[in-house]
Amino acid sequence: MNTGNVKNMMVIVVVAILSSVITLFGYNAISKNNSNKLLGSSASVEQSEYANTFDQSKNVRLASLTTSQGYPDFTEAASQSVNGVVHVKVKSISQQQYMSPFDFFFGFGNRTPQPREQIGFGSGVIISKDGYIITNNHVVEGATEVSVTLNDNREFTAKVVGTDSQTDIALLKIEGSDFPYLTFGNSDALQVGEWVLAVGNPFNLTSTVTAGIVSAKNRGDIVGGGNLGIQSFIQVDAAVNRGNSGGALVNTRGELVGINTAIFSQSGDFSGLAFAVPISIAGKVAADIKQYGAVQRAYLGISVMPIEVARREDPERAKELSQIVGVVIDDFGDRSASKAAGLEKGDIIKAINNVQIRNFAGLQDQLSRYRPGDKVKVTVDRNGKELSYTVELQNDAGTTEVQRGSDSMDLLGATFNEIPNSRKQQLGINSGVEVAGVENNGLFRKEGINKGFIIMRVNNAPVNSGDDISKIVSAVSAGSQDKVILIAGFYPNGRTQYIAIDLSQGTR
């Protein structure tokens, strides 16, 4: 081989080596960049805000792990998650109709509602080191007492800070510090086919972890039978059963991406379909309850033709709607922010702040992230032309004001004194609490209850203290049914009165 050939061969070898090195470094740089992008996008702007509300650390997320064979490894995510998920025990009072044997034989037909204590169970997720917990509204609805048990068997009495029946989310609080908690992930970044874990207490089996994949997103057409106001669920095939309600749906990095809420089953047990409220919704609801005492809902002020209604009333229209990607504006509300901004009937909403809208569930999902007064860019298709408008979202009263919740006991506008047993004997009563004073703008004064009134029962449950009344009032307020309490009582030397008070009459 001559010298020229040797030189040529050496040049080729050097070029090959350099090419390999450059390719290797380039691949590492790209991989690192993509990894940084992935980790950097693990929480959206909105979810970062919700996480800040609960003072969540940004340095407790796990890396996604795989086994040596390349299969997903859930052990680290599971070990962290079980410590942040709690067992929720709920006591409530049910009013059951009781018929006396004398009624049966003699035909009086008088049925007396008898209070009966019920015990229910569910799950919850600790979301802050100072003890805030997310669970489902239906887990604590009507509760007179709530207690939670941590994975280390410590038990705490929990306060129901607030509930929201429309999203089926409730916020609890236990007293203490340095609790293990789960950080918010990005439910928007979940992809169909991605592995997730469901963590909870099915059938009272504590600290149970099941795995599955995301089956669908923005699912809202079959969940809850239409009983929930906002339906934009994550559908998963992880085994979720009774008792899992309020538990965590986590990704393989151990981040909280949803609250397990419902199953689709003929038997009531798992049959392959389960649904979770995305943390993009649940986190915002919990943050609103903590900050304002009430969920801040933002509205465009439009009405939409539900495709189920169209199928019954106008099959041709239903067929047309089913082919549209987006949401068609059917009409406007009495006070509509969208109409004021320039939107028109027949416009097809295609995007909110550049996020594509495919259906009504997707529209609800996006709007649930905002509060009254927020301005959003609404992109519409009008006769084939794309237009964009800035809409300042409003609350259900047609204003941009933040709506704050109020304590239902404050609405009553009353203070109470316990009655000594000796006085109860004089009055001939087994239970009772005395009204010590009333305020002019409270519901007690409005319904004619004044100082000196003796309350024996509330909703047929005996009461002996202001705390007894508070528990019943809080349970009724948290419920999604009629928010009415029935008070049985009397003035000394007067007849027994039955007074109904509607707690939804307004805020003070």
Q: Which residues are part of the catalytic machinery?
A: 138, 168, 245
Strands (E), 360-480: 375-382, 385-392, 414-418, 433-438, 454-458, 461-462
Question: Cα–Cα distance between 23 and 16 in angstroms, integer?
Answer: 10
Beta bridge partners of 359: none
Backbone φ and ψ for 341, nearest 5 degrees, come out as: -80, -15
Question: Cα–Cα distance between 398 and 390 in angstroms, integer?
Answer: 17
- Written as six digits, the tokens of 271 are 């049959």
Residue 145 burial by Cβ neighbours in a 10 Å radius (0-12, 13-18, 19+): middle
First and final CA of the chain: distance in angstroms?
100
How big is the chain, counted in residues?
508
Backbone φ and ψ for 6, nearest 5 degrees, come out as: -60, -45
Backbone φ and ψ for 86, nearest 5 degrees, come out as: -115, 160
Do 136 and 168 contact (CB within 8 A), yes or no? yes
Inter-CA distances, 431 with 215, 304, 388, 419, 435, Å:
54, 53, 64, 9, 14
Calculate the dihedral angle through the C-alpha atoms of 319, 325, 330, 333, rounding to the nearest 10 degrees. 150
Residue 465 burial by Cβ neighbours in a 10 Å radius (0-12, 13-18, 19+): middle
Question: Cα–Cα distance between 278 and 230 in angstroms, integer?
Answer: 11
Question: Cα–Cα distance between 37 and 331 in angstroms, integer?
Answer: 41
Contacts of 262 (CB under 8 A, 6+ apart): 168, 223, 224, 233, 245, 274, 275
- Written as six digits, the tokens of 368 are 């649930």
Do 310 and 321 contact (CB within 8 A), yes or no? yes
Question: Cα–Cα distance between 295 and 284 in angstroms, integer?
Answer: 8
Do 123 and 149 contact (CB within 8 A), yes or no? no
Question: Cα–Cα distance between 278 and 270 in angstroms, integer?
Answer: 20
DSSP string covering 199-258: EE-GGG--SEEEEEEEEEEEE-SSGGGG-SS---EEEE-S---TT-TT-EEEETTS-EEE
